[in-house]
Chain A
Amino acid sequence: MIRVNGEFRQRARLDKNFNAGQCFNCGTCTALCPVGMAILPRQLFRYVLLGAEEKIVEYSDSIYSCLLCRMCEENCPEGVLIAENIRALRRYLVEDVYHI
């Protein structure tokens, strides 16, 4: 079960640079991904929108496996900045979770 946390995005400073709100779940990103991430980008971003912090930590390997090749971003029909969102998540993991 996911506990929705409305304050997570603000607390993790993901509000300004994270634009997955307009994702309409078409799956283009998943079909194009050369890596085959263990979690679909669209599902990962849903967890972020809902503030499911523990899920993001659980899938940190996937977040780091992304090549940032931007093939998905180029082809996203809704203009979601997928690679930028992944980078924002990495920053959050480094600073707020691993405290590096």
Chain B
Amino acid sequence: MTEKKIGAFICRCGGNISDYVDVEQVRKEIAREDNVTVAGINMFSCSDASQEDMIANIRENGLDGIVIASCSPKLHLNTFRAMAERAGLNPYQYIQVNIREQCSWAHTHNKDAATRKAVSLVREGVAKAKLSEPLTPIELTAQPSVMVIGAGLAGMRAALALGEMGVTVYLVEAAPEPGGSIKGRKSLFPDNSSGHELVESLLERIRANGNIVLYTSAEILEKTGSVGNFTIRIQVDGKNETTLSVGAVIVSTGSGSYRPTDGEFGFGLSCVLTLNQYIDMLDSSTDTFLLNGRKIRNIAYIYCVGSRRTGKEGNRYCSRYCCSAAVHTAVRTHEVDPSIGQFHFYRDIRTYGAYEELYHEALKKGSVFLKYGLKDPPQVTEVSGSGLRIRAKDLLTGAETVELETDLVVLVTGMVPGENSQLIDILKLPVGKEGFFNEIHPKLRPVETVMDGIYIAGACQGPKTLSESVVSGMAAVAKSASLVLTGKVNLDPFVARVLTEKCTGCGECISSCPYGAISMKETPDGTVVEITESLCKGEGACVAICNEEALEIKGYGHNMIKAMIEALGG
């Protein structure tokens, strides 16, 4: 084998690295390493000018591999892989060494040691580059279909958008009717639109679109396969089983509603309702406005019930929709009967953005707002004959104690994760600490999950207003459509490989693989195992279990790992 030519480039990162690591010293030591043909320093390796310099270097010197010692590969691995490709190098023969997050930033107190560590890390990178081999991403075909799980507003809107793009959509709903939490609602903030009409108009368009199949009373039983080629078994009406092939899945299962504990702000007393219960009452009442046969004269709202708590009880987060929903409900109530007094006991009003107008409308129509602190929350007691009594300290009136006799107390409760344990188990959905589904990155990859090809949309991801739910549903449409309409999926080539000359065919590895990617194969020379690359995730359980070192992950070979450890130690 001809000697490999390696180029090593040390990044200053404008001082982020070079303030603590002597980059010239690192360059000198690396330049002495075998096979290192070029050793250079960049001010910002990621800048266009530096990339062009490196590309010229690769071409002029005919380099077979390069090492860039800079920031975390999370940041620029793909940047430099693309650069290597532009220079005519296989992108997998580019090695990134992290000397910023894991060196200069971590050891600002000891520059000598930081420099020595940087030298070791770059040597390790060079050892890896020497043994790196050209790899090709695995290309799979993708099914031109998407399953949307949950036919609430976000799921229905997403299904319709996909259907209009020509994608086959299976819209799967657990309840007997689609529409989710809004189907019975008469008036939704901010524009007083009817939930019933929204659902009906979407359903009409979904039925008219030939690409969408709607399953109600349906349950997900099993998922096999991977991105581009999922096979999902569902059961409809508890009896009929169907197996569907899809390229991607959108999960839009919505949220639940916080249920106060018995006695929390008087919950359990007959005239203490949650906001949702009160809206149900408002939606079903006609011209009269009675509670238990009595006319309502005063209503008290208590905000942030179960939300923004610091102790063990309740949730830490703000549900962001409830303030707006509560003031919108108060405005509706003022319109039904302007003589009703409405008192809002709140902690902070968060009617953000344009919803602020709803708050001002409630004020204008006569709602009175009283601010309470967590230390002195309102106390709700029952008074015989006259209804309920609330006692609280109003921080807007110099923290004076106020007492209010009221006919109805409305507890403004937030959203909680829905009950989805079976679905989480089947789809291996990532769940955050609050119990909602987790995206990969809250800003840059807001609807993708760590499970390739599985997207999340709507309130199953965390509290959202209706419009925010639909926005995330459409984002999931863009991501899933771009996957299935391309018709193919590229996967990283880091999958297991069998060194058949070493394999004894013992089969220990088959049971160690959580993805079922290994099977037995008969050959003229005996029985060995083989890998189904589309199923392999390259996580390496089989490598560790094989006594013969007959399995390795491409790009992470046994000889490479050993050489890297040696380089680190030397």
Residues of chain A at the chain B interface (Cβ within 8 Å):
1-4, 6-7, 9-10, 15, 21-22, 25, 43, 46-47, 49-50
Does the CB pair A2–B403 fall under 8 Å? yes
Tell me the complex Cα distance, A71–B103, Å.
62
Write out, one digit per residue, whether chain B residues 15-56 have a CB within 8 A of any chain A CB (1) or not (0): 000000000000000000000000000000000000000000
**A43 / chain B contacts, CB cutoff of 8 Å:** 397-398
- Residue contact B403 to A1, C-beta cutoff 8 Å: yes
Query: What's the nearest-Cβ distance from chain A to residue B343, in Å?
Result: 7
Min CB distance B52 to A, Å, is 55
Q: A9 contacts which chain B residues (CB < 8 A)?
A: 366
> Once the chains are docked, how many angstroms separate the CA of A43 from the CA of B370?
13
Q: Does A50 contact B394, Cβ atoms closer than 8 Å? A: yes
A46–B404 Cα distance when bound, in Å, is 15
The verdict on B1 contacting chain A, using a C-beta distance below 8 Å, is no
Contacts of B298 in A (CB 8 A): 6
| Cβ contacts under 8 Å, B394 to chain A | 2, 46, 50
B343 with A6: CB separation less than 8 A: yes
Is B398's CB under 8 angstroms from A21's CB? no
A4 & B360 in contact (Cβ 8 Å cutoff): no
Complex Cα distance, B392 from A3, in Å, reads: 11
What would 26 A/B residue contacts be, using CB atoms closer than 8 Å?
A: A1-B400, A1-B402, A1-B403, A2-B400, A2-B402, A2-B403, A4-B403, A4-B404, A4-B405, A6-B341, A6-B404, A7-B341, A10-B339, A15-B366, A21-B366, A21-B367, A21-B368, A22-B363, A22-B364, A46-B394, A46-B396, A46-B397, A47-B397, A49-B368, A50-B370, A50-B394
A25 touches B396 (CB 8 A): yes
Partner of B397 from A7, A10, A50 at Cβ < 8 Å: A50
Residue of B nearest to A7 (CB): B341
CA distance A22 to B11 in the complex (A): 57
Give complex CA distance A10, B365 in Å. Answer: 12
* Docked pose: A22 CA to B396 CA in angstroms: 12
Q: Does B497 contact A (CB under 8 A)?
A: no
Chain B interface residues (CB < 8 Å from chain A) = 297-298, 339-341, 343, 360, 363-364, 366-368, 370, 394, 396-398, 400-405
- The winner among B366, B394, B398, B403 for most chain A CB atoms within 10 A is B366
For residue B341, which residues in chain A have a CB less than 8 angstroms away from its CB? 6-7
User: Nearest chain-A residue to B362 (Cβ)?
Assistant: A21
- Docked pose: A63 CA to B367 CA in angstroms: 24
Q: Nearest CB to that of B359 among chain A residues?
A: A22
Additional A-B contact list (4), CB under 8 Å, known A1-B402, A6-B340, A9-B366: A2-B403, A4-B404, A6-B341, A7-B297
Is A1's CB under 8 angstroms from B397's CB? no
Which residue of chain B has its CB nearest to the CB of A19? B364
* B404: chain A residues within 8 A (beta carbon): 3-4, 6
Q: CA–CA, A10 to B402, complex, Å?
A: 20
- Docked Cα-Cα span, A21 to B369, in Å, equals 8
Closest to B392 in A: A4
Q: Do the beta carbons of A2 and B396 come within 8 Å of each other? A: no
CA A2 – CA B370 in complex, angstroms? Answer: 12
Find chain A residues with CB under 8 A from B401 CB: 1-2
- Report B-chain residues with C-beta under 8 Å of the C-beta of A7: 297, 341
* Residue of B297, B368, B370 most packed against chain A (CB within 10 A): B368
Nearest to A21 among chain B residues (CB) is: B363
| A1–B298 alpha-carbon span in the complex (Å) | 19
Give Cα A4 to B388, complex, Å: 13
Give A50 to B343 CA distance when docked, in angstroms: 9
What's the least CB distance linking A27 to chain B, in Å? 12
How far apart sit A25 and B370, CA to CA, in the bound complex (Å)? 12
A100 CA to B400 CA, complexed, in Å:
32
Whether A6 contacts B403 in the complex (CB less than 8 A), given A43-B398, A46-B397, comes out as no
Nearest CB on A from B131, distance (A): 68
Q: Which residue of B lies closest to A10 (CB)?
A: B339
Known: A21-B368, A49-B368. A2 touches B397 (CB 8 A): yes
A21 contact set on B, CB distance < 8 A: 363-364, 366-368
| Inter-chain contacts of B366 with A (CB < 8 A) | 9, 15, 21
Q: Which residue of B lies closest to A2 (CB)?
A: B402
Give the CA-CA distance A10 to B396 in the complex, in Å. Answer: 22
Closest B residue to A40 using CB positions: B398
The reply to whether A6 and B396 contact each other, CB–CB distance below 8 Å, is no
Report yes or no: A50 in contact with B403, Cβ–Cβ below 8 A.
no
In the docked arrangement, what's the CA distance between A73 and B324, Å? 29
Q: Which of A7, A10, A22, A50 has the most CB of B within 10 A?
A: A50
